[in-house]
Amino acid sequence: MQRRPKGIDLFAGPGGLSFGLTKSGFDIVAAVEWDKAASRTYRHNIGDHVHQIDVTEFPPAMLEKILVDSNIITSRNEIALISGGPPCPAFSMMGRSKISNLIKTGKWGGSDSRHAFIDDPRVKLFTNFVDYVRYFSPDLFLMENVSGMNSFKQEQTGVVKPIIEVIRTEFARIGYAVKHRTVNASSYGVPQNRKRVIFLGWKKGAKEPEYPTEHDEIVRAREAIDDLPPISTEDGMTPLKKQARLPLKGTPGRDFIRWCRTTKPIVANGKPPPLHHTRPVNPRDQAIFPNLKSGEHASRVLYKDIAMEDVQKNLPEGYRLREFKTIPNRVEGPAWGRQKRTKWIFYDQSKFGDKMRRIRGDEPAPTMVAHLAKDGYMFVHPDEHRTISVREAARFQSFPDCFDFSAGGVNSISDQFRQIGNAVPPLLSEALGKELIKALGEGSH
């Protein structure tokens, strides 16, 4: 059997990129991730080779020494791939909108608006990625980032250049050719419309890698979670333990669910918890959610479109809708669950019109985001009146059911949602990894 090419995963998160690359035939010998909860998840599911540290304080020479001293490699020349997704919030449209608002309101702490984006130190993390590529000199590298990077510009020596060109120049300076393409994860079997820029780089003399071929069929949101049992709105848990039978043979949904159920873990940690739980639905939201329409069967209805009289009809027994001159509409009622709070104020519909949305079941799910850690209002279940569960979010990201985001019950539900929103979909990672393996000439494994 041929030796598996070795790789290093930077900004690894919970391990979506590492998982897919490992399944494609790589041996990921080291990962770097600063977040404690994500590092726990990575270690629990993928291996002990993750280093929980800020990459800016962890130079590549230090990592090489650890790997050599541990007899994992004999020299840096054994590393065939550097991969990772530098977290650059300012590249995303949401991040840029937030910064622009700070500039307009006079609350921005950086320089003027022409330089605002480059004042965010996280934008420069890709230079740490370049440092690792320069030091280890792998044949190939893979870098993933948000699609907003395409329109992002940075000022250099008085000239405004697209950040894509800045990145090309940086890699060319160290002897690498690089190409980029915006891909949609839904084109590679992921039941989610998630657009990302994928950079593929190769050293002079190495073979140029190709992008994987897109699939002819997509997996729709409902198909991806159709076998998971219903969840109670009262406690966010399911009273049922068994999954439903697989859908009809020969459908993309069946193949996807079978993959999720049968894919084996990299690290065996006993039977993983299902993680099919979500947040309880408070009385206010119990009245709102039934009014939300995804647009699948009727005209789309967002939070801004809901009339208060329709909310009033759905309020649980014992609750009422009240309005005050100085306070927006709010739901009042008796004590609820374990919470002492008995009042839920409505968000301003004119300012937060799309805060609550229902997922269409007949299309891939919308992009999972880290905001899931705070609430799941943008991800209301296609059919049930609740937000999606951890396992459903993981399915939409194409994580198999063996993957435990709780790291054995240690990580909170907010940590679990945040990690999922930040992760690289494993099926996309695996498809990219197979093409990189071909470019390295290692064949299939």
Residue in 375, 401, 412, 388 with CA at minimum distance from that of residue 278? 388
So what's the pLDDT on residue 167? Answer: 84
Alpha carbons 220 and 289: distance in angstroms, whole number: 21
CB-based contacts of 336: which residues, under 8 Å, 6+ apart?
Answer: 282, 283, 342
Residue 251 domain flag: no
Q: What is the mean pLDDT of the chain?
A: 87
Alpha carbons 420 and 373: distance in angstroms, whole number: 9
Residue 405 domain flag: no
With contact defined as beta carbons under 8 Å apart, do 77 and 137 qualify? yes
User: What residues are annotated to the active site?
Assistant: 88
Alpha carbons 319 and 308: distance in angstroms, whole number: 14
With contact defined as beta carbons under 8 Å apart, do 220 and 363 qualify? yes
Task: Note whether 359 and 430 are same-domain residues.
Answer: no
Residue 21 domain flag: yes
CB-based burial of residue 417 (10 Å sphere; 0-12 exposed, 13-18 middle, 19+ buried)? buried
Which residue spans within 329-373 are E strands per DSSP?
330-332, 343-345
Residue 57 domain flag: yes
DSSP state letter for 337: T
So what's the pLDDT on residue 117? Answer: 40
Residue 102: enclosing H or E segment and its boundaries?
helix 93-104
pLDDT confidence band for 96 (50 / 70 / 90): very low
Q: Given the structure tokens 């019950």, which residue do they identify?
A: 409
CB-based contacts of 325: which residues, under 8 Å, 6+ apart?
Answer: none
Alpha carbons 433 and 431: distance in angstroms, whole number: 5
Higher pLDDT, 384 or 1: 384
Residue in 31, 2, 30 with CA at minimum distance from that of residue 14? 31
| pLDDT tens per residue, range 261-270 | 999 999 988 8
CB atoms within 10 A of CB 286: 20
pLDDT confidence band for 163 (50 / 70 / 90): confident
Task: Note whether 206 and 297 are same-domain residues.
Answer: no
| pLDDT tens per residue, range 296-344 | 999 999 999 999 889 988 998 888 887 765 666 778 776 655 555 567 8
Task: Note whether 200 and 288 are same-domain residues.
Answer: no
So what's the pLDDT on residue 102? Answer: 47
Residue 33 domain flag: yes
Task: Note whether 384 and 435 are same-domain residues.
Answer: no
112 has pLDDT over 50: no
With contact defined as beta carbons under 8 Å apart, do 294 and 300 qualify? yes
Strand partners, 51: 32
Task: Note whether 62 and 186 are same-domain residues.
Answer: yes
So what's the pLDDT on residue 162? Answer: 72
CB atoms within 10 A of CB 114: 10
Residue 359 domain flag: yes
So what's the pLDDT on residue 147? Answer: 73
So what's the pLDDT on residue 101? Answer: 52
Give the CATH number of the domain where residue 142 resides: 3.40.50.150
Higher pLDDT, 337 or 178: 178
| pLDDT tens per residue, range 190-246 | 999 999 999 999 999 999 999 999 999 999 999 999 999 999 999 999 887 777 777
| pLDDT tens per residue, range 387-415 | 999 999 999 999 999 999 999 999 999 99
CB-based contacts of 65: which residues, under 8 Å, 6+ apart?
Answer: none
Cα dihedral 80, 269, 255, 85 sign: negative
Amino acid at site 218: I
So what's the pLDDT on residue 90? Answer: 46
Task: Note whether 182 and 307 are same-domain residues.
Answer: no
So what's the pLDDT on residue 153? Answer: 60
Task: Note whether 200 and 317 are same-domain residues.
Answer: no
Whether the full predicted model's pTM is greater than 0.75, yes or no, is yes
Q: What is the mean pLDDT of residues 120-129?
A: 71
Which residue spans within 50-158 are E strands per DSSP?
50-51, 79-84, 140-146, 153-156
So what's the pLDDT on residue 103? Answer: 45
CB-based burial of residue 266 (10 Å sphere; 0-12 exposed, 13-18 middle, 19+ buried)? middle
Task: Note whether 153 and 291 are same-domain residues.
Answer: no
Q: What is the mean pLDDT of residues 350-370?
A: 95
Task: Note whether 149 and 287 are same-domain residues.
Answer: no
CB-based contacts of 116: which residues, under 8 Å, 6+ apart?
Answer: 99, 100, 103, 108, 110
Alpha carbons 148 and 89: distance in angstroms, whole number: 9
Provide the number of structural domains found in the chain. Answer: 2
Task: Note whether 196 and 308 are same-domain residues.
Answer: no
Residue in 45, 31, 26 with CA at minimum distance from that of residue 416? 45
Task: Note whether 300 and 350 are same-domain residues.
Answer: yes
Residue-number span of the structural domain to which 358 is assigned: 283-388
Task: Note whether 176 and 95 are same-domain residues.
Answer: yes
With contact defined as beta carbons under 8 Å apart, do 51 and 63 qualify? yes
Please give the share of the chain, as a percent, with pLDDT higher than 70: 83
pLDDT confidence band for 86 (50 / 70 / 90): confident
Residue 239 domain flag: no
254 has pLDDT over 80: yes
Residue 264 domain flag: no
